[in-house]
Chain A
C-alpha cells in the first residue's frame, strides 16, 4: 500500500514536549458520514435545520444521563497536569490536542448555556455561543482523540477526556454530523454482522482454510468451528482476526490453545465481531444493540462460557460493559468470569502446566509488549488490579526466551496509544495517526537500539492494524508487530488427536462436540 506523503517526525532518544503551535492540526478532519451511514444508527442523515438548538438539547440530555460528563465539565481547575500527556499533542504541538483544551471546546458551550457564570460573565469564564466555528472545531478535534484515557491517569480529579469526546460525538451524530468511518462500520455490523462485512460463507471458508494450513504445518487436526450448537465456549474475536496479518496468526493460536485445553468451542456468524464502535461514538443505544448480538449468539448456541479474542476496546466493552448492556448472564456456567479474555484462558492453562511449550520456537525474535490503552486503563484480567499488565506478559514470557519492556513511563497504565484508537483508524486521518504514534515509536526505537528488540507484541486488533501501517513511516518493517497468540501458536507443541493419522476425508463427518 502506498504511503501517504507527509512529514514524519524524526525519532529522538527522548520525547520532547513541543511548544504550543495553535491551529496546526485544524485541517485534520475525517470524512463526514453520509445518510446511509447515519440512518441505520438512528441519527439524522444530514445537518438538521435547527442544529444549534438540537445540540444544546442533546447536551442537556447527556448532562442528565452521565454523571461523568457533569462532574468533568465542572471540576477542571486548569492545573495543566494533562497538557503534556496526550500522544496527539506530543506528536503535533497543536494546543487543542492538550486534553484540557480539547475538553474546553465542549466546556465553553456548557458554560454558556448551562451555568450562571457563563450566562452572565461569558468572557470571564471562557463561555462561548455554539457557532459554526465551534462546531467545526468539535468535528476536527473530537476526532483527534483516541479516547485512550492517558490524561485521566494524571488528572487530580480523574477527568477523562474520552467521556467528553464521546459526548461531543454523540451530540454531533444527533444533529446529523457523523464520522463516516465509525458509522459506516456500525451500519455494516447491523447489516452483515461484523466490521469488515464478511458474510457467513466467507467466514466458513476462511476457517476451513485455517484448519488445512494448521494441519499442513503441524500434522495435527486443529478445529476452527463456527455455529456449533452445544459447544462449551463461544469465542468472540475482532473480524480482522479472520483475514488480516498478523491478526489471523493470533486466531490460529486461540484454536491451538483450545485444542490443547480439550474444550469444545465455537465462533458465531451472528457475533462474528468483538469490536463495538458504539463506544467510540458515545452511543449507549448503539453499543447496547451491538452487544446484544453476543447474547443472542450465546443463547442460540447454548454455550457455557464466553471468551474474547485480542482486541483492546472490545475487551473494555466486554469486561466493563457487557454485563450492563447485555446481561444478566445467569444462564452461563458461574464458575467462570463473564466474559473471559483469551490471555486469561491461556495463562490459566500455562499456570496449571497444561500446555506443552517450546520457547525456542520464538528464538528468532526479541520481544517487547505494547499495552493497549483500553486494556491497560479501562479493564482488568484475572482477580487482582493490574492483572491486565501481568497476565499478557506472563503469557509472552512463557512462550519466548527474549523479552524486554519498553521505558517504564510508556507502559502499563502510562502506556501510549498506538495512535489509531477511538475510531481514528482510517486513511483520511493518516497524518494524525503517524504523528500520534510518535511517543510509542520513540519508546520502541529505544529498546530496539538498546536491547536489540526485533518485534512488538500487542493484544489489540486496532493496535496491530495501526502499527502495520505506521511502522514503515518510521523506517521499521510492518512485520515487526505480532499477536501475543501468534507467539503462543509458534511455541505450542500440539497433542495429536486419535484421528490425526487417518485419511483427512474420513473425519469430515465427525461431530465437533465432545
Chain B
C-alpha cells in the first residue's frame, strides 16, 4: 500500500468521524435546548401535518427565499439541486451492485455538476455586485464558495478533461467501507477533488453549513400554531409554577 493511499484513507476516516460526530453533537444540542415560547412566523399551520408540509416546501422549494429574493433563489436552488444530483450520482462509488435509480441518474449527475457550478458562480457574483450583500460577506463566505466551486470544477474536469480510473476509485471507497484499504490512483485532479471534499466534511459542523440541520430546528418554521389550544411549557419554566 502506498503512502498516498494511506494518507487519503486516514483523511477520509478522520473527516467522516468529524462530520458525523460534529453533526450529531450539534443536532443533540439543538434538540435538547428548549423552545420556551410558541414563536411560529404566522400565518402558520395549525396542525402537525401542516408543519411537515411547510418544512417540506422550505427544503424542496426554498419557499421563503423565493419570497425574499428571486436571484438568490434561482442560483441557490440551481446549486442545491445540482448538488443533490451529483451526490446521488456519486453513490455508485459506495455500492456494489449499483441500485437501478442510481444507475438511471448517472447522466443527469453530470448536468447536476454543471448546474452546481453555475449556481455557485451566480451566488458568488452577488457577493461582489450587490453592495448590501458585499457588506455582509466575510472571508469564510468566500472560502466556502471557493471550496464548493473547486469541488465542482475538479469533478467536472475528471469527466471532461482528464479521465481517471473510476474503477479503482470505487474499489478504494468500497475498501474503506469494509476496512480493507485498496490502492488509490495517484491522479492529481482526483487527489485535489478528494482533498477539497475532505475539507468540506471537516468544516461542515463548524460553519454556516449548519443551516442544513438548523432549518429543521427553527421554531419559527417548525412549530404548530396552537398556543390557545395547548399549553406549551419549557422544562426550565416549570420552576416558576410553584
Chain A residues close to B by CB (< 8 Å):
17, 19-20, 22, 63-68, 70-72, 74-85, 95, 98, 100-101, 104, 115-117, 123-126, 149, 152-160, 163, 284-285, 288, 319-321, 323-324, 327-328, 337-339, 376-380, 383-386, 388-389, 413-414
- Please report the C-alpha to C-alpha distance between residue A125 and residue B126 in the assembled complex, in whole angstroms: 19
* B residues 135-160 in Cβ contact with A at 8 Å: 135-141, 143
Minimum distance in angstroms from B5 CB to a CB of chain A: 30
What CA separation (Å) do A154 and B211 show in the bound complex? 15
A67 touches B219 (CB 8 A): yes
Chain A residues whose C-beta falls within 8 Å of the C-beta of B220 in the assembled complex: 68, 149, 152, 158-160
* In the complex, chain B residues whose CB is within 8 Å of the CB of A75: 208, 210-211, 214-215, 218
In angstroms, Cα B132 to Cα A152, docked, is: 18
Residue pair B41, A152 in contact (C-beta under 8 Å): yes
Q: What 8 pairs between A and B have smallest CB-CB spacing?
A: A75-B214, A81-B68, A154-B68, A158-B220, A385-B43, A80-B133, A83-B132, A158-B221
- Give the chain A neighbours of B138 by CB distance below 8 A: 78, 124-126
Known: A67-B33, A327-B231, A385-B225. A153 touches B214 (CB 8 A): no
- Chain A residues with Cβ below 8 Å from B69 are 79-81, 154
Within 8 Å by CB of A77, from B35, B131, B211, lies B211
Given A65-B33, A157-B211, A337-B228, verify A320-B135 contact (CB < 8 Å). no
Contact yes or no, A66 B33, CB < 8 A:
yes
A156 close to B62 (CB less than 8 A): yes
A324 and B137 contacting across the interface, CB-CB below 8 Å: no
Q: A66 contacts which chain B residues (CB < 8 A)?
A: 33-36
CA distance A388 to B41 in the complex (A): 13
Q: Are B218 and A157 in contact (CB under 8 A)?
A: yes
Q: How far is the CB of B175 from chain A (nearest CB, A)?
A: 31
Residue B237 at the A interface, CB < 8 A? yes
B 192-242 contacts with A by CB, 8 A: 206-208, 210-211, 214-215, 217-221, 225, 227-234, 236-237, 240
| B181 sits at the interface (CB 8 A) | no
- The answer for the CA separation of A12 and B182 in the assembled complex, in Å, is 69
The answer to whether B237 touches A284, judged by C-beta atoms less than 8 angstroms apart, is yes
**A347 vs chain B, min Cβ distance (A):** 16
Chain A contacts of B50 at CB under 8 A? Answer: 385
A-B contact pairs, 18 of them (CB 8 A): A22-B135, A67-B219, A75-B208, A77-B208, A79-B65, A98-B132, A98-B135, A123-B139, A124-B143, A125-B138, A126-B139, A153-B41, A155-B64, A157-B214, A158-B58, A319-B228, A328-B231, A377-B42
Do A320 and B38 touch (CB < 8 A)?
A: yes
Q: Does B67 contact A (CB under 8 A)?
A: yes
Closest to A414 in B: B67
B75 to chain A: closest CB distance in Å?
10
Structural contact, A80 and B72, CB atoms closer than 8 A? yes
Query: Which B residues touch A389, using CB under 8 A?
Result: 43
Picked from B42, B65, B136, the residue with its CB within 8 Å of the CB of A101 is B136
- CB < 8 Å: which of A64, A323, A380, A384 contacts B232? A323
Measured CB to CB, the closest approach of chain A to B238, in angstroms, equals 11
Task: Name B134's closest neighbour in chain A (CB-CB).
Answer: A20
Task: Note all chain B residues with C-beta closer than 8 A to A163.
Answer: 39
Could you tell me the distance between the alpha carbons of A160 and B37 in the complex, rounded to whole angstroms? 13
- Docked CA distance A384–B214 (Å): 28
CA A77 – CA B233 in complex, angstroms? 31
Which B residues lie within 8 Å of A378 (CB)?
A: 39, 41-42
Q: Nearest Cβ distance between residue B55 and chain A, in whole angstroms?
A: 10
* Contact between chains at A159 and B41 (CB < 8 Å): no
Question: What is the bound-complex CA distance between A285 and B221, given in angstroms?
Answer: 25
CA A79 to CA B122, docked complex, whole Å: 12
Inter-chain contact A81/B136, CB cutoff 8 Å: no
Residues in A neighbouring B36, C-beta threshold 8 A: 65-66, 284, 324
